Amino acid sequence: MKSYAAKAKIIGNAIEFTLDENDDDYCAPAFIESHHTYRITALPTDCQVKVVGATDPVPAKDSTSTTTTIETTEMGLNVTGTTMPTAKMSTMAVWGIAGGVIAGILILLIIGAIISKFVVYPRLRRCLNRRRQRSRSTGTPTSQPLLPPSQATSTTASKTTNPSNESAQSAETIEKLKIGNPAPSSTESTPEATPPLPPAPKKKKKLAPEERDQLVPITDSVLCTFQRLRQIDPEIQAAVANRWNMDVVHDVSKLEKLVLHAPANEALEALNQMTAELDICLLKNSAKYGSNDTTDEVWEYANFIGIPASASYRLFAMSYPDVFKGVEGRLDDPVIAKLSVPGLYCALMWDGFDLDFKKKLIIEMRKRAVKLFENVDIRELALSAFPIYYLAKRYKMDKNKFVEGSKVEDSRTSSRRSRRK
């Protein structure tokens, strides 16, 4: 390459042209709007020419500098312009990165919430269930509701010191003071005033084997008590036993508490409300009342720990009405008179009895439970069928008003009042 108006200087593989104003062929360039142009008439092929220091006559608004690249090919010239990244583009990149990070965090939070709801929370509930079950069974030497006579353990009464000698000495001193005798001198030892000792706990009477055998039927589960009285078909009993998981410790609902320890009128009102609410959920889960048959789907619902235990009793009583076949609504009925406490609670769930008899049945259930609580340690009842253990705790809290029921404020009413205030 050569130029008639510039000097060529070869630097490695590059050639640098410098205008020579002293040359005869030099001519001053013409300026148009403060710009002048150069025309390259011929270039070697297969090489790249860069014009350093030249600017685009019509620069872009956001560009700061422009480098013009001329690529030479056999077909001719190809001129391209490349602009530098601007502040606007960098801001958009920052916002894009921040948005991606926020979206990733939200996705992780959603995944964590789903895992917590469907994996972690059910496992925690099962762990709490097992822990509650172990705490209830502390001190219980067997998993049966009552121990057999050969392994019966008597309750240990608290050991108290015998204050007979001290009380005798204090009585003798008081008698001397009454007759005018001088008080004992300082050298003599005087008995210290001791506070009255609390009365020793009343020992439970140790039951004879035959007496203990009479209490065992009171704690029978629903299936056991109806099987013992021959009120249930063996095939139905086996089918229900495979579906009804009685090892689940359900949380006692508010309505169940009212039924178990409220006065009879309030307990009956709570019973009607509870059965109506249970029917809605059970029928939605494919319960078939009056058919002497049930489905696995409805039993899976009733066995869930968050569902009241009364759901299983209501499902059994309404789905298998033949277990109450021939049973009359009176307390001296042969079947009613021999039912266990869970059996009487199941009878409350059947719609075949009128309301007046159900009110009597609530009182009879509590009376029959008292016979058990007066002779058996509560710890031995920790694994008994619902509602024995809850009734045992209520009996321990208030023995005098256990049968007739204590006034219990409905927590639903109190919550409404608090919201109004």
What are the tens digits of pLDDT across the range 368-397?
Answer: 999 888 888 888 888 889 999 999 998 988
pTM higher than 0.85: no
Of residues 180 and 361, more confidently modeled: 361
- Reported as a pLDDT band with limits 50, 70 and 90, residue 101 is very high
According to DSSP H, which parts of 374-410 are helical? Answer: 388-397
Q: Which residues pair with 81 in a beta bridge?
A: 68
Residues 393 and 294 in one domain: yes
On the question of pLDDT at 201 being above 90, the answer is: no
DSSP 56: -
Dihedral sign, Cα of residue 115, residue 118, residue 120, residue 121: positive
Q: 291: burial class by Cβ within 10 Å (0-12, 13-18, 19+)?
A: exposed
- Within a domain: 264: yes
Sheet holding 77-83, edge to edge: 48-50, 66-72, 77-83
Indicate the number of domains in the chain: 3
Taking the CB of residue 148, how many other CB atoms lie within 10 A of it? 12
- Within a domain: 154: no
Residues 235 and 123 in one domain: no
Residues 237 and 119 in one domain: no
What range does the domain containing 94 cover? 85-128
What are the φ/ψ torsions at residue 133 (nearest 5 degrees)? -65, -40
Determine the Cα–Cα distance for residues 264 and 405; give it in Å rounded to an integer.
7
Determine the Cα–Cα distance for residues 180 and 185; give it in Å rounded to an integer.
15
- Answer whether 387's CB lies under 8 Å from 309's CB: yes
* pLDDT at residue number 409: 52
Residues 114 and 231 in one domain: no
**Model pLDDT for residues 6-57, shown as the tens digit of each residue:** 777 777 767 777 776 776 666 666 667 666 666 666 666 666 666 666 666 5
